[in-house]
Structure formats: structure tokens, C-alpha cells
Amino acid sequence: MNSLSNSQAWRLLVVSLPTSAATARMRLWRGVKALGAAALRDGVYLLPDLPGLQDALQALAADAAGEDGRVWVLSVYATDMEQESSYRALFDRTSDYATWTQELATARAAIGDADEAELLRLARRYARSLEAIRRIDYFPDAASRRADAHWRDFHGAIDRLLSPGEPQGARGSTPRRDPGQYQGRHWATRRHLWVDRVASAWLILRHIDPHATFLWLEDVRDCPADALGFDFDGATFTHIGDRVTFEVLVSSFGLDEDRALSRIGQMVHALDVGGIPVAEASGFEAVLAGARERLSDDTALLDEIGRVLDSLYAHFARPRLR
């Protein structure tokens, strides 16, 4: 019986496998390690009782049972606050974050000499390794927040190298715009398009102003007075708060209910400023980087990547399978 009114429920996986089941033992070890389970002793593993973990634990139990193992999955509670604290301490990821942060700092110091391909590789590598820690950080605390801050700094430094002049998030709200007032307009942004700018230009053409024309600026100070600037400081449409320009445009023109645009926005956000990883992001980034190597003309780049975004839009718009 739970003796603590607000105690975390826990799951205990107890497994005894035959001596001959070496392969099954290795699968079990890999499985509990992937879940971040705490090994209390050989064959006894503790995890917090969370919805996302129950099916995974049952799958490990079923696999072990299928190898003639003896398996129990038990619900347990701490008997007092001291034991509760000791359980939670088993899942303290402070040292994992510290190791990651030290490695990130070493990489951060050397990025000035890296080429574009290496910068992208580093960004993907450290995003994946941070996400691997987050997945098993069941009780995030100050260490998690510090790691997030280091990641934002690192990602921002890479963005500034890949895309000089990246805007800072402005304060304020996003006013709703009348699409009828934004037809056949001139739109301007920084040349040498990268993730947020190329996606925003595609969004403008496909969903806001199909007769738009674009100016690719060497210097944003040369933006014509009659042009609608986007994705640079002081532009009509740029980062607001933690939202990137693509997300600001979606909200400004009342496109928030479009699920496919929302998914593309999540991808652009993850690539532009970091955040929750999106499965399709690394592939899109690789295609864009390759296209940018091949095409020096931003209009041609928009045309090619626009077709990629058309395909992603169709993919994200598909009805979800139940």
C-alpha cells in the first residue's frame, strides 16, 4: 500500500533467464539500458510507472518469458520520503548532462574552422545525443535546463555561421493580417537562403501570395520601402518570442489550423532554433545543404526546394492511420 500521499508509483522488472540464454540476456540488457532503467541487482530493474514505459516493460518481459525465463513486473511504492528520494536519485542525469556539456563546449570552441558540412554534422550529432539523455530523464531539473541553454547557444552559433544576420526574437504579439492586402507584393529577405527563409518564401508563394516576387538582399539595409521584409531584424515578418519567421507567417495569415503547415513549422523550428526533434528534419536539411552547394541562384534554389516542401506538405496532410 502506498504510504506516501504523493509518492511516485514505480515498476519493478524481475527476470531470471536460463544460463544458456546468452542472446536473450544481451537483448534484455540493451532493452533496459535504452529505457534508462536502474539496475538494483542482476536481473532486477526499476523504472517510474509512466504510461510511455508500461508497454516497453511488458515487451521486455514477454521476450524473456519466451526464452523460458521467469519474469515478474511488479508495482511498488517507496515506504518513506528517504526511500522515495533514493529511488529518484537513481535517475539523476546530472552527470550525463555534464559530460554532454563538456563535449559540446569543446566542439563549440572549434566551430569557427568548420565547413558547412561539418557544422551540420555537429548540429545533428549533439541534437541526437541530447535527445538520448532527455528520453530517459524522467525527473528533469536544473541540469536539464542548463543543458538546454548550452544547446541554444551552440545552435545559435552554428546558425550565425551558416546564415549571417539571423534575426533575434522580437517582443510582442502576432497581429492577424488580411491576405487580400498582401497580393502581388514584393517580398525581400537575405540572400543565400537557409531553412527558415526558404520555407517562409515557399509558404508565401503557396499559401499567402501566389503572385509574389522576391528580392534576395546582400544587405538588409538596402530593402526597398515598398517591399515586405521577412526573416531579418526590423523586417515586417520576423522572429517573435520563440517563434521563427515561418511560424509567425502561419499565425499572421490565419493558417494555424492547417495540420501539414503546423508539422512543417515544427520541422523549421527544430532546424532553425532547436527544440523537439522532428523525424523529417535531418533529411530536409541534407537536401537543402546539397541543393545550396549546387545552386548559387536563390530563385532556382527556392524552385527546387519548393518542390521538396510540396512533397512534405502532401506527406503531412495525409489522414492519420488509426
Q: Is 170 contained in some domain? A: no
Confidence of residue 41 (pLDDT cuts 50, 70, 90): very high
What is 170-237 written as a DSSP string? BPS------GGGGSS-EEEEESS--HHHHHHHHHIIIII-TT-EEEEESSGGG--TTSEEBSSTT-SB
In a domain, 311, yes or no: yes
247, 269 contact by CB (below 8 A): yes
CA atoms within 13 A on the CB side of 305: 31
Question: Whole-angstrom Cα distance, residue 162 to residue 104?
Answer: 18
- The strands making up 228-229's β-sheet, listed across from edge to edge, are 213-217, 186-190, 228-229
Instruction: Say if 171 falls within a structural domain.
Output: no
Do 154 and 37 reside in the same domain of the chain?
A: no
- Paired strand residues for 214: 187
Domain-located, residue 52: yes
Among 106, 135, 162, the domain boundary falls at: 162
225 and 301 fall within a common domain: yes
147 and 58 in a common domain:
no
User: Domain for residue 5, yes or no?
Assistant: no
Per-residue pLDDT averaged across 201-206, rounded?
A: 98
- Whole-number pLDDT of residue 2: 42
Domain boundary among 89, 119, 142: 89
Q: Percentage of residues in the chain with pLDDT exceeding 70?
A: 94
**263 and 233 share a domain?**
yes
Mean pLDDT of 44-63: 92
- 81-95, 153-167, 168-182 — most confident range: 81-95
Domain assignment of residue 15, given as a range: 10-89
- Give yes or no: residues 32 and 64 share one domain: yes
Domain count along the chain: 3
Residue 158: pLDDT over 50: yes
pLDDT, mean over the chain? 91
**Same domain? 301 vs 242:** yes
User: How far apart (Å, rounded) are the C-alpha atoms in residues 247 and 245?
Assistant: 5
Asked if 99 and 15 sit in the same domain, the reply is: no
Q: Indicate the pairing of strand 186-190 with strand 228-229.
A: parallel
Q: How far apart are CA 204 and CA 199, in angstroms?
A: 9
SS3 of 123, please?
A: helix
- 162 vs 12, which has greater pLDDT? 12
Instruction: Please check whether residues 219 and 284 belong to one and the same domain.
Output: yes
Looking up residue 75, the CATH number of its domain turns out to be 3.30.70
Asked if residue 276 and residue 245 are part of one domain, the reply reads yes
- Across 68-78, average pLDDT: 93
Provide the 10 A C-beta neighbour count for residue 127.
20
Residues 266/258, Cβ–Cβ less than 8 Å:
no
- The reply to whether 123 and 137 lie within a common domain is yes
- Cβ atoms within 10 A of the Cβ of 53, count? 17
Q: Is residue 265 part of a domain?
A: yes
- For residue 163, pLDDT over 80 is answered with no
Q: Is residue 121 assigned to a domain?
A: yes
Question: Does residue 247 sit in the same domain as residue 313?
Answer: yes
Q: What is the pLDDT of residue 320?
A: 67
pLDDT tens-digit profile of 269-301?
988 887 777 889 989 999 999 999 999 999 999
Question: Does any domain span residue 322?
Answer: no
Residues 20 and 77 in one domain: yes
* Mode of pairing for the β-strands spanning 186-190 and 213-217: parallel
